[in-house]
Amino acid sequence: MGKSGTKEDNHLQALTQKLKDNYHIFEKLFIFFILAQPFLDLLSYFSIPVSNPIRLLVIPIGALYMLSYPDRRWSRNTFIYMLVLAVYFAINFGVNMIWKDPVSAAGELTFILKTFFFITALLVYVMIFRHIGENREWKAIVPKYLFINTSVVSVVMLIAELTGTGKRSYDYLEKQGHSGWFFSGNEISAILGMGFCGAIIYYLFIKKGLLAQIICTALIAVMIWAMLTIGTKVAFGAALLVLGMAFLLLLIQAIIKRNNFIQAGVVLVLLAVTVFVSPEMPIGNNLGLSVDMANEKAAQQQEQAEAPPLPEEEGGEVPPPGSVRQWSSWQLMALNGREEFFGTVLYYFERAPVIQKVFGMGIGGNYTGGEPRIIEMDILDWFFGFGYLGTLILVLPLLFVIGSILVFIFKQRFRTVSATALFSGVGACIGLGAAFIAGHILSSPASGFYLALFLGFLYGLVKQKPEKFFQ
């Protein structure tokens, strides 16, 4: 028995050592995985069911990378956190299988695994860029890969436009726009919004020949067109913000170094054309429609001097109370048609047993009949789906990463904030902002991947030694 135990221990030690000797293979695999993203989304659209299984492999492979990580403290702490999170998810699943009726085991498990994917990807990419910080090649490789991905998505949308095969962004007929050959308009909007930040880094600050620069300019124009064609606020806001920042930075660089005047002029033209054509694009129609709809709903509610009381439950059926709550016009604008879902899930949460308030109500809350509907505002979906305890556990890595980035920046007195870091920070902020107001980020592997990547990339950038801003 003793000899058998010794042999098993030796085998385990040998396996652990083999993992530690090959950690760099995991890093190369995860860097290359960036390029696979738009193609996985296309396969999903054409009903080839490989995207989710491939993305979910990030969880076990990411755990192996954590075990093999050279820094023992990081390796131990991240792996322990993953175990705690796995135990919590198991409890959340068990609680909802007992307390929810109806309940879909597949739906609950899918919601859990998609959330687990984002947390794993976040930790993995933070660890990768923390470790390969001395290798300067990654500072050019990541923006290049993001430029390629954003170009692929935009060109596919252009082909869908030319062939009339694009999927509508909204079910509401008066709203315009399409998401090409991709399923979700909100999801692809967030991907383009974040990806455009990486694309602009490659376009402006990575050295290229004249022909390559001309081709890249044409692709940037297609990206902007795609962001206006989706018809969503996230992509539109990202296009204006990124182009405006790019012009200001190039103008400052041109004045100080007396170069890049032509590039600054090109970006100014792109920005001016974007502003000029926006009213005639789907986003122009949808923005006006959103304002009109919000004002109309607010006016209708104002006519009712007192909101009617929420109906009582009858025969175990919970009515959708979101439809009878009163909202101000700015709340209606922020919720953007989600007010009924938010009101309904809030109603479920207020009446849920304590154990569900602590461990969460799962996807869609304690819905009664039909399919579960999420609010599509990720922070709220996390809170109602995973409860007080789950939300606390889930936000810990986000708070740690964001807090560490801010500490690095202030500790170095902003000397580590290069142009690349600045646009990476904007990409991360766009992803986080979309998670608050538009959803389809924290529990969506397709777009959540990019937020995890940007936060990890930014973490690695600001942790480095100070360098020139435009380097």
The model carries a pTM of 0.90
Name every residue whose Cβ is closer than 8 Å to that of residue 296 and which is 6 or more positions away in sequence: none
Over residues 28-81, the pLDDT tens digits come to 999 999 999 999 999 988 888 899 999 999 999 999 999 999 999 999 999 999
Residue 423: in which H helix or E strand, if any? helix 419-437
Q: State residue 95's pLDDT score.
A: 96
Name every residue whose Cβ is closer than 8 Å to that of residue 312 and which is 6 or more positions away in sequence: none
Distance between first and last Cα of the chain: 62
Return d(Cα 92, Cα 104) in angstroms, integer.
Answer: 13
Structure tokens at 463: 């942790």
Q: Is 373 left (phi over 0), alpha (psi -120 to 50) or beta?
A: beta
Q: State residue 10's pLDDT score.
A: 63
Which residue from 160, 178, 161 is spatially nearest to 169, judged by alpha carbons?
A: 178
Return d(Cα 113, Cα 110) in angstroms, integer.
Answer: 5
Over residues 166-186, the pLDDT tens digits come to 888 877 767 888 999 988 888
For the cut 90, the answer to whether the pLDDT of residue 312 exceeds it is no
| Greater pLDDT, 364 or 8 | 364
Comparing 23-27, 132-136, 219-223, 345-349, the range with the smallest average pLDDT is 132-136
Buried b (16+ CB within 10 A) or exposed e, 269-290: ebbeebeeebeebbbbbbbebb
Q: State residue 256's pLDDT score.
A: 83
- Residue pair 172/281 in contact by the 8 Å Cβ criterion: no
Q: What CA–CA distances, in Å, run from 86 to 109, 112, 286?
A: 12, 10, 41
**Mean pLDDT estimate for the chain:** 86
Identify the band that residue 322 occupies on the pLDDT scale cut at 50, 70 and 90. low
For the cut 70, the answer to whether the pLDDT of residue 160 exceeds it is yes
Over residues 273-294, the pLDDT tens digits come to 999 999 999 988 888 775 555 5
Q: State residue 118's pLDDT score.
A: 97
Task: Please give the distance of CA 164 from its chain centroid, rounded to a whole number.
Answer: 28
Buried b (16+ CB within 10 A) or exposed e, 76-99: eebbebbeebeebbeebbebbeeb
| Greater pLDDT, 456 or 348 | 456
Identify the band that residue 368 occupies on the pLDDT scale cut at 50, 70 and 90. confident
Rounded-to-10 torsion of CA 99, 104, 107, 113: 60
Return d(Cα 470, Cα 451) in angstroms, integer.
Answer: 23
> What are the sequence ranges of the domains in the chain?
17-135+345-471, 140-303
